[in-house]
Amino acid sequence: MILAGRFFLTFKPIAKFLPEVVPPKRRVDLGRKLIWTGLVLIIYLIMSQVPLYGVATLEGGDPFAPIRVIVGGSRGSILELGIGPIVTGGLILQLLAGSGIISYDPSNPEDRALFTTASKFLSLLIALFSAIAYVVGGQYGHLPLFSGLIVILQLFIATLILMLMDELLQKGWGLGSGVSLFILAGVAKAIWWSALNPFPVEGGQAHGAIIAYFQAILAGEDPITSFYIRPSPYQPTMLGLVVTITMIIFVIYLQGIQVNIPIVSSQFRGYGGIYPVKLLYVSNIPVILASTLFTDLYLVGNIVQSNPALSGTLLADFIGKFNSTTGTPISGLVYYITPPRGVTNVLLDPLRALIYMAILISICIIFSATWLTISGMDPDSVARQLVDSGVMIPGFRRAVSPVSTVLSRYIPAVTILGGLLVGLISVLGDFLGVYGSGTGILLSVGIVYQYYELLQREQAMELYPELSRLLGEK
């Protein structure tokens, strides 16, 4: 262990300077939770449309467009950074704690509080660094010093507000987490606009696929060709809509596939149940980590390209360059970690498509296996939790070793297979022009399922108040 037990204590003096949301003194009823959740969503959507003060023009295109739907926010708004800094800060600490580099006891209230403080501080630090990188990197043109400082301040404060709204929901005032809600909102908005955006684009048709399809038919174009081809390969098609709906149904189906391991209580005879090992055992964590990694690489690429001292080096050639007009990657690593969206783009550059597929699927498998160990979801850790809870598998001794042996038959296999599947679904979604991206659909289905379970739980506690006391809620 490189940083032993007292790591989080270094953040204790900082805690009093960081704003925080006070948790409710008593349980908030479902109606009020829905109101708070809706209010947070409305504020988020409004903020995503508020332009940055002091920015007259945006330099080039949006280099973060490929992952914008995942990190949220919108180009040129105060939410330019989206949830990127918040997710990155939290994931870094979870990786450090899960791997044992830093000591963290989630059952200790003080450790939990300090972990939250450290996560906030790190996220704000990343937000500040990212904001400076955007301004210095010339994303908003050449700004005077004062204007640049104002833009940095706006981006920093917007991230702080997002963080507080996330904390508001997580502390019991609303449902779920702000980060999940913001991701879902971003994907839902992308799907809506891809299908029904009425504003005209290249070719004179509406951007939305449904409207454009009927415009094409009324103009006498072939309905079959118009179904999957648009004037620009970057415009959404009706084929993309069909694939989007199909993928949503398929991911919902995958969510329900699991191996049920029978378990019984060693303390109360006759009481038994099942321990489910889902096919998507580590859920969407691999694609979240991959998206975060790609976002950081895009940021580094922009910094390198905008720095005259680095732009002509081997580092710049390796990381890659962006088109100064459109902001799209044109070479290097950033080019190959950006998916060619739509069948037409895949056929135009099949080598890039294959390399992107290989990179993303490999990263998802690696992150799945890594997360299994550092998150305490490996067979040994799960077996220890079951045994400590007074649970055993029928026909086996109540000990960690035999339980771990049974779990080892399934968990490692579904972890690798699940990582491969989420990577493959994400890739195919992008290649087939899925609205909101393949990764976005994966995340959204998981988030909606979580909200479904949360609503069921809340309704049960509304009907049976005794459950609140049983679950330790006030």
- Model confidence pLDDT, tens digit, residues 152-173: 999 999 999 999 999 999 998 9
Q: Would you give the distance in Å from CA 315 to the centre of its chain?
A: 28
Share of the chain above pLDDT 70, in %: 92
Give mean pLDDT, residues 305-317.
80
Instruction: Report the C-alpha gap between 278 and 260 in whole angstroms.
Output: 8
Alpha carbon distance 162, 48 (integer Å) = 11
Report the pLDDT value the prediction gives residue 215, as an integer from 0 to 100: 92
Shared fold status for 1-175 and 216-474? yes
Residue 55 has pLDDT above 70, yes or no: yes
**Would you state the pLDDT for residue 395?**
77
Local confidence band at 439 (pLDDT 50, 70, 90 cut-offs): confident
Categorize the per-residue pLDDT at 350 as very low, low, confident or very high, splitting at 50, 70 and 90: very high
Mean pLDDT for the stretch of residues 109-134: 88
Q: How do the domains of the chain map onto residue ranges? A: 1-175, 216-474
What gap in Å lies between CA 209 and CA 90, rounded to an integer? 37
Torsion of CA 347, 61, 125, 145, to 10 degrees: 160
Bigger pLDDT: 11 vs 98: 11
Q: Is the predicted pLDDT of residue 3 greater than 60, yes or no? A: no
Q: What is the pLDDT of residue 460?
A: 80
Question: Can you state the percent helix, strand and coil of the chain, rounding each to 5?
Answer: 60, 5, 30
What do you get for the CA distance between the two ends of the chain, in Å?
38
**pLDDT tier, 106 (very low <50, low <70, confident <90, very high otherwise):** low
If pLDDT is split at 50, 70 and 90, which confidence band does 422 have? Answer: very high
**131 or 283: whose pLDDT is higher?**
131
Q: Look at residue 28 and tell me whether its pLDDT is greater than 80.
A: yes
CA dihedral 283, 47, 145, 300 (to 10 degrees): 20
With a cut of 60, say whether residue 118 has pLDDT above it: yes
Residue 294 confidence (pLDDT) above 50: yes
Q: Taking the CA of residue 277 as centre, how many other CA atoms within 13 Å lie in the half-sphere pointing to its CB?
A: 23
Least confident residue range of 120-129, 180-189, 197-206, 421-430: 197-206
Q: Which two tokens stand for residue 30?
A: 């479902």
User: Which CATH architecture does the domain made up of 1-175 adopt?
Assistant: Orthogonal Bundle (1.10)
The CA dihedral of 94, 291, 126, 157, to the nearest 10 degrees, is -110
Determine the pLDDT at residue 2: 47
Q: Are 18 and 160 in contact (CB under 8 A)?
A: no
pLDDT at 474: 52
According to DSSP, residue 173 is labeled I
Q: Residue 299 and residue 126: Cα distance in Å, rounded?
A: 12
Per-residue confidence (pLDDT) for residue 45, from 0 to 100: 92
pLDDT of residue 357: 95
For residue 414, the model assigns a pLDDT of 92
* Nearest residue to 8 via CA among 87, 92, 93: 93
pLDDT of residue 162: 94
Residue 470: per-residue pLDDT: 47
Q: What is the pTM of this model?
A: 0.83
The residue among 323, 291, 316, 314 whose CA lies nearest residue 301 is 316
Q: To the nearest 10°, report the CA torsion of 222, 226, 228, 234.
A: 150
CA separation for the pair 385, 403 (Å, rounded)? 10
The crossing angle, in degrees rounded to 10, of helices 30-47 and 178-196 is 60
Among 73-82, 96-105, 183-192, 430-439, the minimum mean pLDDT is found in: 96-105
Alpha-carbon gap, residue 409 to 223, rounded angstroms: 51
CATH code given to domain 216-474: 1.10.3370.10
Which residue in 200, 206, 214, 208 sits closest to 240, CA to CA? 208
Q: What's the confidence (pLDDT) of residue 268? A: 65
> In this predicted structure, what is the pLDDT of residue 61?
62
Q: Which range is most confident: 12-26, 344-358, 360-374? A: 344-358
